[in-house]
Amino acid sequence: MTIKEQQDAIIEEFSFFTEWAEKYEYIIQLGKDLPLIDDIYKKDENLIKGCQSKVWLHADYKDGKIYFTADSDALITKGLVSMVVRVLSGQSPENIAGAEIYFIDAIGLKSHLSMTRSNGLLSMLKQMKMYGLAFQVKEK
């Protein structure tokens, strides 16, 4: 699926919930379903700076695509990272670096996150886009 298709799928999934309590439960469930990151990648150099919770992000580059794995020590944050991993993992560096991420606003998440969580989510996206840029340079 493309980045746009992944985002549209998330927006559709969230449209089934009317209450924010239900949406938070779903975000937590998404975090629980996130494939585990290998413990060897749970090191300081893979921590996202600017997150209130600990968030580890690792990128593998294979066959012209970047595959992300991640984890967090907080349930909500783990759910948030699972959504951005779902949207951007398996995409080309160019598509990741240039991606317009709109699902966060579309599901109303931005207005329901604390400032620190919102900043952390932006830090995750920024780091993933930086990987996109770095692997673009590596390809040339």
**Around Cβ 37, how many Cβ atoms within 10 Å?**
19
The active-site residue, picked from 30, 34, 37, 51, is: 51
Phi, psi of 51 (to 5 degrees): -95, 140
pLDDT at 139 over 80: no
Total domains present in the chain: 1
pLDDT for 111: 82
Residue 21, domain extent: 3-139
Other C-beta atoms within 10 Å of 31: how many? 21
pLDDT tens-digit series, residues 39-90: 999 999 998 887 778 899 999 999 999 999 999 988 888 999 999 999 999 9
Q: How far is CA 8 from the centre of its chain?
A: 15
pTM over 0.85: yes
Tell me, what CATH number does 114's domain have?
Answer: 3.90.1010.10
Of the candidates 88, 66, 81, 53, the one whose C-alpha atom is nearest the C-alpha of residue 136 is 66
Tokens 């938070």 -> residue: 24
The yes-or-no answer on residue 51 being catalytic is yes
Radius of gyration over alpha carbons of the chain, in Å?
A: 14
In this predicted structure, what is the pLDDT of residue 27? 94
Please work out, in degrees rounded to the nearest 5, the angle formed at the alpha carbon of residue 115 by the alpha carbons of 68 and 72: 30
Amino acid at 58: H
pLDDT band at residue 115 using 50, 70 and 90 as cut-offs: confident
